[in-house]
Each structure stands twice: as C-alpha cells, then as structure tokens.
Amino acid sequence: MPTHPAATPAAHHTVHVNVHKQARAALFGFIVTFLLARMFVFLIMSHQMPNLYFFANGVHVHHLNYGIFLLSVVAGYSVFRRPVGLAAELTALAYGVAMALTFDEFGMWLHLGGSYWQRTSIDAVIVITAVLGLCAYLRTLEKFERHHLWASILLLLAMIGFGWVVYTAGSRLGELFGPKLEELEASSSP
C-alpha cells in the first residue's frame, strides 16, 4: 500500500522548510511595509510630500482598514485555494503586508481612536516582528536539543530585557517627542 507523500521523512522536511521560508516572506513583508507606512505618514504630516490619505465623505480612511480587507482576502485565499510553492510564498508576503498595515495602527483600533503615534502600536509591531522572526528562524521541534533549551532561555531573558528597555526608553521618548508628533498629525488632516 503506497504511503502519502507528506508522510515520508523527505516530504516532512520539505514542509518544514517551506513553512520557514513562508514565515521569512511574511516577516519581510511586515517589516518593509511597516517602515514604508511610517515613513509616508511622517512625510505627509511634515508636509514633505503631498497628502495621499484617502477620504470618504470627509472621513480619513486609515490604512488599518486596507490591512483588514487584505487580511480577509489572504485568509479566504489560503482557506479555499490552499496555495503551494510560489503562490504560498506570495500569499505569505501579502499576509505580512496586511499585518503591518493593520498593526501599525493597533493603538487606534484598540482604543477606538486617538493619535496615530500611540505607543501601543509600536509595542504591537515589536511583538508581531518577534513572533514572525521566531517562526521564520526557530529550529523545528524534532531537532530541539538540550543546548537549544539553554539558548532559548537566554533568548527569552534577552527579549524580556529588551522589552523593558523599549518600554522605559519609549515612554521617555514619547514624553519628549509625543507633543510635536501630535501637532504634526493635527496640522496634516483637513
């Protein structure tokens, strides 16, 4: 009786390689989109480039809405088409783009409004980047050995320390630059 190709060790390894490759595509799309979104918003708010914001009946449609719609399309496509190969990699890239557009404004949808420059959005982006990074580069569990456990514990402690530094430094930077950023935001919207 023939076995299913996914049950063979070589196919199992290929699946894991593809998952890691797709996670790297999602991570790439996420980071690049987040950086571009922040750059464009800052350039628009500082009047260094034209206002490209979309308005519907005088209401600014934030890019988190584009991200939500794109997440819906990516999820539907993933569930109903189950892409493989290049299509799966492009789907993962689109997923990263959609996540960045959505979570760049996480503070706005968490608090149902407020300033674009909320600290919560940056914290969410850091967490999403860390999770995607772990998915992209974490070894498979079959190869997880004792020295990996100690490396994982050290990585966790480093991440906790990094989180504390980002939180405390970010709070201080928010106090210093927050009012100016909010002033830019107010002056750029009609």
Tens digit of each residue's pLDDT (9 = 90 or more) over 80-134: 999 999 999 999 999 999 999 999 988 888 877 777 777 788 888 888 988 888 8
* Residue 18 to residue 20: CA distance in whole angstroms: 5
Q: Which residues lie closer than 8 Å to 60 by C-beta, 6 or more apart?
A: 53, 54, 189
User: Using one digit for the tens of pLDDT, what is the confidence trace for 137-154?
Assistant: 776 656 666 666 777 777
Q: Is the pLDDT of residue 166 over 50?
A: yes
- Confidence (pTM): 0.70
Q: Is the pLDDT of residue 34 over 70?
A: yes
Q: Which domain holds residue 98?
A: 5-188
Residue 21 backbone phi and psi in degrees, to 5: -65, -40
Q: Domains in the chain: how many in total?
A: 1
Please state whether 82 falls in left (phi above 0), alpha (psi between -120 and 50) or beta: left
Q: Is the pLDDT of residue 12 over 70?
A: no
For residue 54, the SS3 value is strand
